[in-house]
Amino acid sequence: MTHRLPFSLLAAALFTLAITGQPAPRKTAQLENGHGAYATHRYRNLFAEAGHSQAEIDAKIDAAFQQLFHGDPKTQSVVFAAGSNANGPLMYLKDVYSRDVRTEGMSYGMMIAVQLDKKAEFDALWNWAMTYMYISDPKHPSYGFFSWSCKTDGSPNDESPAPDGEEYFAMALLFAGNRWPGGHGIYDYHAEALQLLSAMRHRAVITGATKFGPRSVGPEVSEENAMILFVPGIMPHPFTDPSYHLPAFYELWARWGPVEDRAFWARAAEVSRAFFVKTTNPQTGLAPNYANFDGTPHVTGNPQSGVFAYDAWRTASNWSVDWSWWRKAPAEQELSDRIQKFFAAEGIDSYGPVYTLDGKSLGTPGQNKDHPVGLVGVNAAAGLAATDQARAKQFTEALWKTPIPSGQGRYYDGMLYLMSFMHMSGEFRIWPPK
């Protein structure tokens, strides 16, 4: 399977500009709880709706977790034990194909663990992230964030952060603090989450040396646009990544996050919902890998930047989970119908991974020669918001019959496969304070 181009191709191109002020924060408004699972405490189970028993569903999820977290290390598992330190056991989650450890995968692993009540795995992954990926030097440009990519021995491949990792770290930590309260040190999950969320919005610009040359890094959001950035490294024309937009999470941060930032995250949720409509193609529902703040594709030297490729797969899952949890933006239903209609027409058991936004398959070497499991998963999760139930059921069944990923592609495919199964079965939930 072809994998996404390295983040470092763009990170290396960042350079310093001055940042000039920020608009005053909006006043906190009364939050509307919507009509989704947050308000009702009921989660749809698309597999049960399709006729599968709860025992079968539970067995599928458990089998996927056991294989991906504890299976054969050569062909199945993406999680590996790495000894221990004063804080306890250490584990890392590896991108097997690229041979590195990414904040994306570590934070996904932690989210899966907290959802499935696997505290030992959660703590060991968080311990590794804090031991090797966290930047604790106040003079370092990435202070308060995490190196997005490391070798399996913990040494960095890059000392810049990727905000999707911080987003999932923060949400997983808040859920952990609510589900397993009373921890101390790095296991005071709530305190760790609040510190990270504050840094994501308020971290001052720091310019200085890294092992890979000088960098200038600031906050992970655009204050003016209320959007997550693709990278917080300072550059002349910052941009976003549609698959980083997580309004379902932002709504919770608007309730549980730092008090001074709650109005910002409420605004960010609203902005992201409108952004999904702007950035997706009006016929296909496909989003670009990278986008400008107005939703138009952001084209860089990366040939996959302005097309629907590996990052962009996740966007449909993001708006569909937002609909499932909050039901505030009916346009998300239209987006799910649109993208499922497109992929059904492409062949529900044969579509490939990379397309132009208007739906042309990009058959360059290594692309669209496979039917990617991760995309099967997120396209099925789009059924959480779809109104065409008959078509959505076809996507549900397509995922149901798909084997657990193994081999070289099992990292990204495996994480999206398992999280999609959890979303669609109602086992990926909001864990509120006790």
Q: Which residue type, as a one-letter code, is found at position 354?
A: V
User: 327 is written with which tokens?
Assistant: 């039901």
Which residue carries 């346009």 as its tokens? 331
DSSP letters of 26-67?
PPP-PPP--SSHHHH-----HHHHTT--HHHHHHHHHHHHHH
Check if 311 is active-site.
yes
Q: How far apart are CA 85 and CA 96, in angstroms?
A: 24
Residues in the chain: 434
Active-site option among 121, 167, 311, 322: 311
Active-site option among 95, 100, 104, 164: 104
The contacts found for 418-422 with CB under 8 angstroms, 24 or more apart, are 418/61, 418/64, 418/65, 418/68, 418/112, 419/108, 419/111, 419/112, 419/317, 419/377, 420/317, 420/377, 420/378, 420/380, 420/381, 421/60, 421/61, 421/64, 421/377, 422/61, 422/112, 422/115, 422/116
Q: How far apart are CA 172 and CA 168, in angstroms?
A: 6
CB 382 within 8 A of CB 340: yes
Check if 56 is active-site.
no
* Residue 196 CB-half CA count within 13 A: 26
List, by residue number, the catalytic residues.
Answer: 104, 311
